[in-house]
Amino acid sequence: MGHAVGDLLLQQVTTRIQQKIRKGDFSARHGGDEFVVILSDCESIKISKKISQNIINSLKLPFFVGVHTIHIGASIGLSYFPLDSLEPEELLKYSDIAMYFAKQSGRNNVQLYSRHLSDAVKYNQKVDNLLRQAIGKNELHLVYQPLFLKNKVIGIEALLRWTNEELGIVPPDIFIPIAEESLLISEITEWVLQQSIGTIKKLRNLNPDLYVAVNISVKDCLTPKKLQSNILTLLNEYELPGDSLEIELTESVFIEELGPIETLFNNLKSEGVRFAIDDFGTGYSSLTYLLSLPFNTIKIDQSFIRQSDKVKLGVIKGIIDIAKSLSMQCIAEGVETAEQKYHLEKLGCKRFQGYYFSYPLVIEELIVFLKKSINSN
């Protein structure tokens, strides 16, 4: 919306913060979209938490700037004098660390600083350092989980694994967000794409219609031109059609500026590449958003599949119906039991992924699995 709107929004934010603090308290913009508040003579942690919550609540209400209605949120980290430190610089650093964790646990949260947060930051830094060498040291590998249409394998999802000498096995849920914080993710994604597309080339000798689904981070979408040229170069090199690749994105793409992502979609879709929306139902799940980017596939999040109570089944049915009416495919993730499969089928779901069908497999196991499934069909 431009700098002018941004500046006016910042001014309104300032006013709202000031309205929520007391006389004698202090507030300042610390740079970018960060503010600092000092609560003097704060009698208890409870009061500081209450004031923080008040600030968050007031910033949740819409802002009106010119013709724009703007929705924002805030994350607050708290540190205490003299409990956490006597040094202003350290207190700032600690509240910043706490704020980082508040952000990570979702929007509009308050987080108190504690020693273990600093330890977590140190661990993250270690992971980041070691991850930088992981590709060169051959520590990364991919496993592939088959994707099913009824009982037939139609594709595979590439899932990243990292084993490090010092840290042992680090799950992707831990190291991907850390890689996303630094620019490391783009290097990792490039490697994952290269491996996955190489693999699907080989597997298409067994089944010429097979595709590979690759998880792409929302951070990769910030450099859409690079991502696009990586993908098209690889498909070209391996002489593969676009539809041998499906890109999985989570709903967090919707918080980025959509323009460049739309261009990425259009350019790759015109080459046949498909897009899936991952973990559907856990993020923004706005219908407006769903219509704004032409996804081919909705992946229903595992959390809906796991508990098959009436409400969850209703939500699943809703998602399946939305997919149908938008001519999108729908796949259920995390199917672990025959019972879950049965319920999903009754709701009209035909595509599945999960331990009930197959665990993620290393390439050698996958080839055996595919050969077996071809013979039995």
Q: Does 362 bind ligand C2E (CB under 6 A)?
A: no
Could you tell me the smallest distance in angstroms from the CB atom of residue 364 to Ca ion?
Answer: 22
Could you tell me the smallest distance in angstroms from the CB atom of residue 52 to ligand C2E?
Answer: 30
- Secondary structure element (H or E) that encloses residue 141, with its range: strand 140-149
Could you tell me the smallest distance in angstroms from the CB atom of residue 276 to Ca ion?
Answer: 8
Of ligand C2E, Ca ion, none, which one sits near residue 155, judging by CB under 5 to 8 A according to partner kind?
none
Could you tell me the smallest distance in angstroms from the CB atom of residue 334 to ligand C2E?
Answer: 4
Q: Does 155 bind ligand C2E (CB under 6 A)?
A: no
SS (H, E, C) 264-278: HHHHHHCCCCEEEEE
Could you tell me the smallest distance in angstroms from the CB atom of residue 159 to Ca ion?
Answer: 8
Binding to Ca ion (CB under 5 A) within 271-310 occurs at: 278-279
Segment lying near Ca ion (by CB under 5 A), choices 74-82, 164-172, 182-190, 326-334: 326-334
Q: Does 355 bind ligand C2E (CB under 6 A)?
A: yes
Angle between helices 45-60 and 3-20 (to 10 degrees): 140
Name the phi and psi angles at 33, rounded to 5. Answer: -110, 30
Of Ca ion, ligand C2E, none, which one sits near residue 360, judging by CB under 5 to 8 A according to partner kind?
ligand C2E
Angle between helices 184-203 and 115-134 (to 10 degrees): 50
How many residues interact with Ca ion (rule CB under 5 A)? 5
Segment lying near ligand C2E (by CB under 6 A), choices 7-15, 111-119, 126-134, 331-339: 331-339
Q: Does 192 bind ligand C2E (CB under 6 A)?
A: yes
Segment lying near ligand C2E (by CB under 6 A), choices 31-39, 60-68, 82-90, 347-355: 347-355
The site map against ligand C2E for 196-215 (x = CB under 6 A) is -------------------x
Angle between helices 115-134 and 88-104 (to 10 degrees): 70
The site map against ligand C2E for 227-266 (x = CB under 6 A) is ----------------------------------------
- Coil vs helix vs strand at 321: helix
**Binding ligand C2E by CB under 6 A: which of 281, 320, 360, 373?**
360
Distances (CA, A) of 159 to 26, 103, 143, 189, 259: 48, 26, 5, 11, 28
Of Ca ion, ligand C2E, none, which one sits near residue 242, judging by CB under 5 to 8 A according to partner kind?
none
Tokens 């603090």 sit on residue: 21
Rounded Cα–Cα distance for residues 74 and 60 (Å): 8
Q: Fill in the amino acid letter for 138.
A: N
User: Smaller CB distance to ligand C2E: residue 155 or 354?
Assistant: 354
Binding to Ca ion (CB under 5 A) within 239-278 occurs at: 248, 278
Could you tell me the smallest distance in angstroms from the CB atom of residue 303 to ligand C2E?
Answer: 10
- Coil vs helix vs strand at 299: strand
**Binding ligand C2E by CB under 6 A: which of 89, 165, 173, 364?**
173
Cβ atoms < 10 Å from Cβ of 311: 10
Q: Does 279 bind ligand C2E (CB under 6 A)?
A: yes
Binding to Ca ion (CB under 5 A) within 182-221 occurs at: 215
Q: Which long-range contacts (CB under 8 A, 24 or more apart) does 252-255 make?
A: 252/218, 252/283, 252/284, 253/218, 253/221, 253/293, 254/283, 254/284, 254/286, 254/289, 254/292, 254/293, 255/218, 255/284
Cβ atoms < 10 Å from Cβ of 234: 18
Q: Which long-range contacts (CB under 8 A, 24 or more apart) does 128-133 make?
A: 128/178, 128/179, 128/181, 128/182, 128/184, 130/164, 130/166, 130/167, 131/162, 131/175, 131/178, 131/179, 131/184, 131/188, 132/184
Could you tell me the smallest distance in angstroms from the CB atom of residue 216 to Ca ion?
Answer: 9
Rounded Cα–Cα distance for residues 14 and 234 (Å): 49
- Positions that interact with Ca ion (CB under 5 A): 215, 248, 278-279, 333
- Positions that interact with ligand C2E (CB under 6 A): 145, 158-160, 171-173, 176, 192, 215, 217, 278-279, 302, 334-336, 353-355, 360
